[in-house]
Structure 1
Amino acid sequence: MRAVIVRSFGGPEVLEVAEVAVPEPGAGQVRIRVAAAAVNPVDLQTRSGALAAGGLLPERAVVGLGWDVAGTVDVLGPEVVGFRPGDAVIGLSDRLALPLKTQAEYVVLDADAVAAVPAGTDLVAAATLPLGGLTAAQALDIARVEPGDTLLVTGAAGSVGGYTVRLAALAGVRVVAVAGGGDEELVRGLGAEFFVPRTADLPAAVRDLVPGGVHAAVDAASVGMPVLDAVRGGGSLVGVLGNAPTPLRGIRVGNVWIRADGSRLAELAAAGLRPRVADVLPLDEVGEAHRRLAAGGLRGRLVLVP
């Protein structure tokens, strides 16, 4: 079968669509025939060597790429219950140092990292949900917002930011969304009550809208200290990329470190979220997908289909 791998770090030219053995599921695992796999910023960071330089990716001769997957169950390993061959599923591969991940024709995942979706689900769109949706949900867990609270979300037009806005709004949280000037209609459509263009003086603009500052923030765009300054004393701030600022004024600061969670993923699949697909490309064009994602400006995820 074909799978996207890297044997050395660098630009998109190091990406290889290699012929590899079809993986076999072990106990508690399922093999998925891949219908679609999204391309995320973490794939670019893996390929470039940024994760290895940061000490997050140990040295390996071969590293696979891909976190999100949508497809159908192909083979069940021993001790797996709740799935049958042919079931439509989505899942998340949350380990970094694997020789085979989701950008492949087949992938093996732990069964508890997989969620069934209704037959007839658009699997290309569904492939954009696991990483962004779970990151948003787990960030909101850390933020501890309640209905009626105010929440600032940076990068609100992106994948994680957009899912955060939507989930918070569905929970009755009043959202202040920060995004590009042309994205106001998009983020308001996701449920944001307030909008702040990312070019604004963020703390001043937010405090004009919410006197005293917001109860909490999810900093999906890694803005840092200006976001902290927009949060009221004793509030909370959640960083998404591991670089949350120093806590000041009694603000509780944390980072979300994504983990696979099939049961939570099943909840997200039923929550009425709106997956966004920027474009669909064949697996062989993974290098083009990396170049386009690096160039920025996408609204939605690029999806690879084998």
Structure 2
Amino acid sequence: MRAVIANGFGGPEVLEVVETAVPEPGPGQVRVRVRAAALNPVDAAVRAGVFGGGGERIGFGWDVAGEIDALGPGVGAGDVVADGGAGAARWAVGDRVVGLHYGAVKALGTHAEFVVLDVGALAAAPVTVDDAHAAVLPLSGLTAARSLAQSGLRAGDSVLITGAAGVVGGLAVQLAARAGLVVTALAGEADEELVRSLGAARFVPRGGAVEPGSVDGVLDFAVLGEPALEWVRDGGAYVGVHPGAEPAPVRGVRVGAQEVAADGAHLAQLVALVDAGGLTLRVGSVHALADAAEAHAVQGKGGVRGRVVLVA
């Protein structure tokens, strides 16, 4: 099979598409034929060496949308998985799925023709969108949903979401508005119409003034840190996305950072929202697996209104 790898750190030019062995699923695992896989900012960080792994072959990709190609021992006989609330379903070869392949530094990721995943990382794929859009959901959707849950905010509370026009921020705006929170979106001036269409009640342009202590919580997807913490009222909540890099707590504010995890049951809930029309997935551009370096370059230029996706 073909897979995107790098044997060193650097820009998009370090990427190679190589032939490698098709992986075999072990107990409690399935092999997925990859149809689409999102390219996330974490992939660029891996390529640049942020997470280490020098001297080893490094693979890329966390998200996958495709169909089950092979079952590991015992999976067909006994592993039962949630299907978003309509009962229970057993995985079978040919099932369309989405999933999260957790881990920054790995020999092979989802930017390949096949990937092996634990059954607990999978959910049935949404039926209302194509594979490219479905591939946007796992990492970004789980990050947004888990960040909102971690904040402890409830209906009627106010939340300010930084990076609200980004893929994760945009999903968080939709989820927060759906949960009954009063959402203030912080994004670029040109993005006001977009974030309001996603459910933001208020808008602050990037660099604009926000009154200190004016919101119950902040979801800081733009990684502003201490300045964003100042906008939270005493005893409120701040959630970042870089564990270990969040600002120190002040004024009784609960400070945390989201560490995403592969969670098929939670992912199934997000899939149900997509199919119900309650969650919009945005694709900025689509590239063939062979053009992975081009895809990384497009992402690196910025300004893509949606996730860059590779199709195999």
Q: Same fold (TM over 0.5)?
A: yes
User: How many residues in Structure 1 have an aligned counterpart in Structure 2?
Assistant: 294
Q: Do the aligned partners of 2:32 and 2:66 also contact (CA within 8 Å) in 1?
A: yes
Q: Which residue of structure 1 aligns with residue 83 of structure 2?
A: none
**CA offsets 1:177-197 (integer angstroms, 9 cap, x no match):** 000001011111111111000
Counterpart residue number, 1:7: 7
Q: Give CA deviations for 1:241-287 in whole Å, capped at 9, x if unaligned.
A: 23221211111100101111001001001112111000110011111
Q: Which of 289, 294, 302 is residue 288 of structure 1 equivalent to?
A: 294
Question: Is the contact between residue 87 and residue 119 of structure 1 (CA under 8 Å) also seen in structure 2?
Answer: no
| Aligned sequence identity (%) | 53
Match 1:300 to one of 287, 295, 306? 306
Runs ≥4 residues deviating over 3 A: 118-121
Task: Give 3-state SS (helix, strand or coil) of 2:33's partner.
Answer: strand
Structure 2: gaps (5+ residues): 80-89
**SS of 2:51 mapped into structure 1:** helix
Amino acid at match of 2:137: L
Q: Any conservation in 1 of the 2:9–2:54 contact (CA below 8 Å)?
A: no
Show the 5 A alignment for 1:238-257. Answer: 238-242=239-243, 243-257=245-259
- Counterpart of 1:85 in 2: which secondary structure? coil
Q: 1:71 aligns with which of 61, 66, 70?
A: 66
Aligned partners of 1:121, 1:71: CA distance in 2, in Å? Answer: 12
Q: Which runs of 5+ in 1 are unaligned?
A: 53-57
Letter in 2 for 1:245: P
For 2:31 and 2:41, the matched residues in 1 are separated by 25
2:27 aligned residue: 27
| Alignment partners' CA distance in 1, 2:228 and 2:2 | 43
Partner of 1:217: 218
Query: How far apart, in 2, do the equivalents of 1:141 and 1:106 lie?
Result: 32
1:78, CA displacement in angstroms? Answer: 1.5
Residue 213 of structure 1: CA displacement? Answer: 1.3
In structure 1, what is the Cα distance between the partners aligned to 2:206 and 2:234? 23
What is the Cα deviation at residue 119 of structure 1? 4.8
Please name the residue that 1:174 is paired with: 182
Task: Give yes or no for contact 1:65–1:101 (8 Å, CA) kept in 2.
Answer: yes
Q: Letter of the aligned partner of 2:231 in structure 1?
A: A
Instruction: Work out whether residues 37 and 311 of structure 2, in 8 Å CA contact, stay in contact via their aligned partners in 1.
Output: yes
Output the CA distance in 2 between the equivalents of 1:96 and 1:299: 24
Query: CA deviation digits over 1:98-142, x for unaligned, max 9?
Result: 211100000000110010125564111100111100001111111
Decide whether aligned partners of structure 1 residues 60 and 88 sit closer, same or farther in structure 2, where only a CA change above 3 A counts.
farther
C-alpha distance in 1 between matches for 2:6 and 2:31: 22
Structure 1 Cα separation of the partners of residues 295 and 128 of structure 2: 26
Q: CA RMSD in A?
A: 1.2
Report what 1:101 is aligned to. 109
Code of the aligned partner of 2:97: V
| Corresponding letter in the other structure for 2:269 | E
Answer whether contact 2:42 2:104 (CA < 8 A) is retained: no
Contact 1:146 1:172 in 2 (8 A): yes
* Counterpart for residue 48 of structure 1: 48
TM-score by length of 2: 0.92
- Which stretch has the larger CA shift, 288-297 or 20-29? 288-297
What amino acid is the match of 2:35? A
Structure 1 residue 151 corresponds to structure 2 residue 159: yes
